[in-house]
Amino acid sequence: MFTGIVTAVGTVSAIVPLGSGRDMRLVIATPWPDTASIALGASIACSGCCLTAVEVGPDWFAVDASAETLSKTKLGTWTVGNRVNLERPLRVGDELGGHIVAGHVDGVGETLSITPENGSARWLFRVPDALARFIAPKGSVAVDGVSLTVNEVQGATFGVNIIPHTSLNTVFSFMKPGDPVNIEIDTVARYVARLSEYK
């Protein structure tokens, strides 16, 4: 379980095929000073995708991504050098600064535009049609693992404002229109929609 508050930006330093299938081992370099505290088997959100640490080094960790994960998230497009939002899991007693994020990516969206707006920037994203009904104004959404508040929704398109601090401390500072993004809808929205089916 995560909060959508990114604590570091890592870099994909190696991609190693596993076996004869399409599974991959991703080695991610990180600026975290305490990688020794990452236990094997620990969960780490990598641009919003919850993955398991299978190896740990002094300034890196490695995770395995199955063919299913690669096909259902933007991880399948990653190459060496890709920047990655990183968040370690929430611990009991930690501050919940964003919203509850499971690390289960619901689909891949697209960055449509980035427009300066006063002291921040208005970002527009398009999501798959099946996810559009779960996104509501003033609701929460995780984009590449970052907890954001939705400003407006029009069909399958939604907008958020991203302040300079968030941009500088996440992969948003490297992104441009046309880039894919991992989308996780709000857990509450998911269950409300499910319950509404039984009216």
How high is the pLDDT of residue 154? 96
DSSP E strands, 34-129: 43-46, 49-57, 60-65, 83-87, 107-117, 120-126
Residues of the chain with pLDDT under 70: 93, 194-195, 198-199
pLDDT, tens digit, 9 for 90 and up, residues 71-121: 999 999 999 999 999 999 987 767 777 788 989 999 999 999 999 999 999
Q: Which two tokens stand for residue 94?
A: 């930690």
| Phi, psi dihedral angles at 76 (to 5 degrees) | -65, -15
Considering the segment(s) 107-196 as one domain, its CATH architecture is: Beta Barrel (2.40)
How high is the pLDDT of residue 189? 74
Beta bridge partners, 120, equal 117
Alpha helix locations (H) across 21-116?
67-72
How high is the pLDDT of residue 22? 87
The answer to whether 130 and 107 are in contact (CB under 8 A) is yes
Phi-psi region of 138 (alpha: psi -120 to 50; beta: other; left: phi over 0): left
DSSP 146: E
How high is the pLDDT of residue 37? 92
Q: Where in the chain is the domain with CATH 2.40.30.20?
A: 8-87, 107-196
Using CA atoms of 14, 18, 24, 25 in order, give the dihedral in degrees to the nearest 10.
-50
How high is the pLDDT of residue 94? 72
- Alpha carbons 169 and 182: distance in angstroms, whole number: 17
How high is the pLDDT of residue 194? 66
The CATH number of domain 8-87, selected from 2.40.30.20, 3.40.50.300, 2.60.40.420, 1.10.287.610:
2.40.30.20
Sheet holding 120-126, edge to edge: 146-149, 140-143, 180-185, 107-117, 120-126, 157-162, 152-154
- Tell me which H or E stretch contains 97: none
How high is the pLDDT of residue 187? 80
How high is the pLDDT of residue 86? 98
How high is the pLDDT of residue 199? 60
How high is the pLDDT of residue 70? 94
How high is the pLDDT of residue 97? 75
